[in-house]
Amino acid sequence: MDQKSLSLWNVSRKLTGLPTTAAASLWSHSSFVNLRAPRLSCAVFLTQVLHLLHCEEAEMEDSIKGVEAAKKDGLSQTDRWVKEQDVLKERLVMFDDFPWRLGAVSSEEGKDSLPDGSGGVIDGSELRYVGGVDLSFAKEDSSFACGALVVMDLESMQVVYEDFDVVQLTMPYVAGFLAFRETPVLLGLLKKMAAKAPLLYPQLLMVDGNGILHPRGFGLASHLGVLADIPTIGIGKNLHHIDGLTNLEVRHVVSESNLQAGGGMPLVGSTGQVWGMAFRSHDGCSKPVFISVGHRISLDTAVEVVRRCCLHRVPEPVRQADLRSREHLRKYPISMPQPS
């Protein structure tokens, strides 16, 4: 940590009265990365410190309000979930909201243009750490699952961080409400990393699950993104029926369209809304993946990041989270003590 960062760190800790561990978690917050830039004024910094301190409290209050309101109305569990989704969805951001802005850099300078032909690119020197999350279920007992968080260096495509959490899920799977089953596990892994390895904390997170490509426009990737306040991309392996779109029809159209490797086909519903992109990773891949906006990112940017992360059908951060969570369950069966 340089001298200015150390000074800002001490100021923020004294100002907030937080203990060292809590201050470290705040300091590693994804929104804090840009706050430590040399050009930042002290006044702006202190203002943002106070803002970030209230973020988690506001998120929890919003969630509690939604659930309490539903309980008073005598609603069912699924109705309460819908209420909570509606409350959280109000904070959903579907445009680029991060420090690594798109810039008009030509491909001749070693950069690749976006799928829409705009010529905008992602500065790889700034977007460095891309995370992936997934859950795998134990064969012995499907109520046990291993949550995995993997972070990769975008330039080398090497895993620089991994962590796992094996838990017993008490909530059953209900279609359309996957987030309420899986988000607590994934959110816990992110919070643990913020305190344990803040310098490697992902600037962007790919989620094995949909974002706005969801019956209510708020899937797992969006839910997790809003609660963790991090840019997220939804990566779907199958397309569920939504707004006139069906898995079989979309796959047929993609196969008939001769979609090239690295190309995408917009998923336009019967209402005219663009829900995401059917993306073909490489020439040998017959099945597309379905990319959707999660939180704090546009669809064009999401597609470009996925394209750069694809070595196989599924983008590498999510693929590695899947492979490594399965391997963790093989290595440490639920009948055995888990590593600390």
Nearest CA to 268 among 311, 297, 239, 294?
A: 239
48-66 residue pLDDT tens: 444 444 445 555 565 555 5
State the residue range of the domain holding 206. Answer: 102-331
Q: Tell me the average pLDDT across 221-248.
A: 96
User: Average pLDDT, stretch 315-331?
Assistant: 98
In angstroms, rounded to a whole number, what is the distance separating the alpha carbons of residues 333 and 93?
Answer: 39
Domain final position from 89, 120, 142 = 89
Is residue 340 one of the residues assigned to a domain? no
User: What's the CA gap between 277 and 264, in Å, rounded?
Assistant: 6
Question: Is 96 domain-assigned?
Answer: no
For residue 27, the model assigns a pLDDT of: 44
- Which of 17-21, 285-289, 299-303 is most confident? 299-303
Asked if the structure places residue 23 within a domain, the reply is yes
In tens, the pLDDT along 271-280 reads: 999 999 999 9
- CA 281/CA 287 separation, integer angstroms: 9
More confident residue, 16 or 296: 296
Does some domain include residue 312? yes
Token pair recorded at residue 147: 């949550």
Q: Are residues 207 and 279 in the same domain?
A: yes
Cα(174)–Cα(267) distance, integer angstroms: 24
Q: How many helices (H) and strands (E) are present in the chain, helices listed first?
A: 9, 10
Task: Looking at the structure, tell me whether residues 23 and 167 fall in a common domain.
Answer: no
User: Domain check: are 135 and 83 in the same one?
Assistant: no
Does a structural domain hold residue 295? yes
Domain CATH number, residue 127: 3.30.2170.10
Average per-residue pLDDT in the chain?
A: 80
Interacting residues of 219 by C-beta distance below 8 A, sequence separation 6+: 178, 179, 209, 210, 211, 212, 213, 234, 292
Q: What confidence tens digit (pLDDT) does each residue in 150-166 have?
A: 999 998 999 999 999 99
Residue 320 has a CB neighbour count (10 Å cut-off) of 22
Last residue of a domain, one of 37, 57, 89: 89
What is the C-alpha separation between 8 and 236, in angstroms, rounded?
41
Whole-angstrom distance, CA of residue 138 vs CA of residue 159: 24
Q: How far apart are CA 235 and CA 35, in angstroms?
A: 29
AA identity, residue 287:
K
Q: Which of 89, 111, 134 is the last residue of a domain?
A: 89
Do 21 and 67 belong together in one domain? Answer: yes
Determine contact, residues 206/235, Cβ cutoff 8 Å. Answer: yes
Of residues 61 and 94, the one with the higher pLDDT is 94
- Provide the phi-psi class of 117: left if phi over 0, else alpha when psi is between -120 and 50, else beta: left
For the whole model, what pTM was predicted?
Answer: 0.75
